Amino acid sequence: MPNTEKTKEQIKENPKQSSPLTIEDDYTPVVYDPQYILMVNKLKKYFPIKGGMVSKTVGYVRAVDGITFNLKRGTTMGLVGESGCGKTTAGRTILRLSGGKTGGQVLFNGQEIYDLSHKELRALRTKMQIIFQDPFSSLSPRLPVGEIIGEAVREHELVPKEEFDDYIDQVMDNCGLQPFHKTRYPHEFSGGQRQRICIARALALNPEFVVCDEPVSALDVSIQAQIINLLKDLQEKYKLTYLFISHDLSVVRYLCDRIVVMYLGKVVEIADKKELFENPLHPYTKVLLSAIPVPVYGAKRERLFFHGELPSPLNPPAGCRLHTRCPYATPECASCEQELRDVGGGHMVACGRYEQLQGQ
Ligand SMILES: Nc1ncnc2c1ncn2[C@@H]1O[C@H](COP(=O)(O)OP(=O)(O)OP(=O)(O)O)[C@@H](O)[C@H]1O
Ligand SMILES: [Mg+2]
């Protein structure tokens, strides 16, 4: 049985598994396929909401609610969806950075990362890195840059002492930083340079897999392009695999090979980039794509809209989670939850009506 956050107390609280406290963890274990560095199977991450005098769990924020996807070695998977749909939580849960998982599996190179001991996890940490959205708050203001980049290298004894300085110089150079930057502090750099420091810090550990959580959202457009190109170059050079989280579909289109679209904690569509952009099947994906500006003077794309706000992940709608906002929803959409199914060529969609909606 996988190691989950569910405690005996929580299970006792939910004998009938029917209240907002219900946690279901039913999945068929995946068989490891070596072409995938990462296999995510029905992964769930719920945050408990405490209430009452004795601070009892009264509900859960179902931030990630059973997501499934596989990530091929050396490729980039985009993870998109509107704010609050669970992208960051998914990235952090995959890296085992947010406590336990609530359910499902995360296989990294075939190993369930939640089954690893702390010692094993520590050894694996160098292989899995994360780059955050805000480069300033993720850098210690009290350490010089050389120390920030080299701290974990030294900790994990990745290079012999006598080679340490040259190694850090080399990593900095690969990320477009100069050796004299080593003795400076993060506040002395621009936003783009700070993000380069974050990338160098991650890269110094020689990772195989990097979660990039909106790494360019806080930067201005010209700097965004530099950082995206840097990520692309580094991927080629070091055969890295990325999970690239972003709001910006133009960036995702440029950088990613395959794309996962999330809505309210669920995956609604997965397809190769070209297929997704040319033939989106889920109504939610169609709305997201309609927001991308057309790069031709005077050209207009019909902008599609959904009504209403994103419902709360504390109490998500039954059936298809989109049915409260989807103009094409039928009464069945409110009662039947849609599983992701392969509709050919690795294109997966979780909508019961996608065939009727084609061309709309
Ligand atoms: N530590 C936490 N405790 C309780 N709820 C949380 C916690 N972290 C995230 N959430 C909730 O989980 C949901 C998903 O949040 P998450 O940050 O993963 O969204 P996101 O898709 O990354 O959004 P954004 O695009 O704005 O970064 C939100 O409703 C958020 O409020
Ligand atoms: Mg986020």
Which helix (H) or strand (E) covers residue 267, if one does? strand 266-272
pLDDT of residue 300: 64
Contact 266/79 with Cβ under 8 angstroms?
no
Which of 151-155, 203-207, 231-235, 328-332 is predicted with the least confidence, judged by mean pLDDT?
328-332
Quick one: which of 118, 115, 69, 110 has its CA closest to 91?
69
Average pLDDT over residues 301-330: 84
Bridge partners of 103?
A: 44
* Residue 113 structure tokens: 């990362």
Long-range contacts of 82-87 (CB under 8 A, 24+ apart): 82/247, 82/263, 82/288, 82/310, 83/247, 83/310, 84/310, 84/313, 85/262, 85/263, 85/264, 85/265, 85/310, 86/45, 86/262, 86/264, 86/265, 86/313, 87/213, 87/245, 87/262
Which of 54-58, 123-127, 140-144, 259-263 is predicted with the least confidence, judged by mean pLDDT?
54-58
Average pLDDT over residues 39-60: 91
107 C-alpha to ligand 1 centroid (Å): 23
- Which residues fall inside 5 Å of ion ligand 2, going by CB? 88
Name every protein residue with a CB atom under 6 angstroms from any ligand 1 atom: 47, 61, 63, 81, 83-89, 247, 313
* Sequence-ordered list of residues with C-beta below 8 angstroms from that of 302, at least 6 positions apart, any chain: 290
User: pLDDT tens, 211-230?
Assistant: 999 999 888 888 899 999 99
pLDDT score of 270 more than 70: yes
**Residue minimizing CA distance to atom 18 of ligand 1:** 86
In this prediction, what percent of the chain has a pLDDT beyond 70? 91
- Per the model's pLDDT, the better-predicted residue between 18 and 190 turns out to be 190
User: pLDDT tens, 239-268?
Assistant: 999 999 998 888 999 999 999 999 999 999
- Per the model's pLDDT, the better-predicted residue between 12 and 171 turns out to be 171
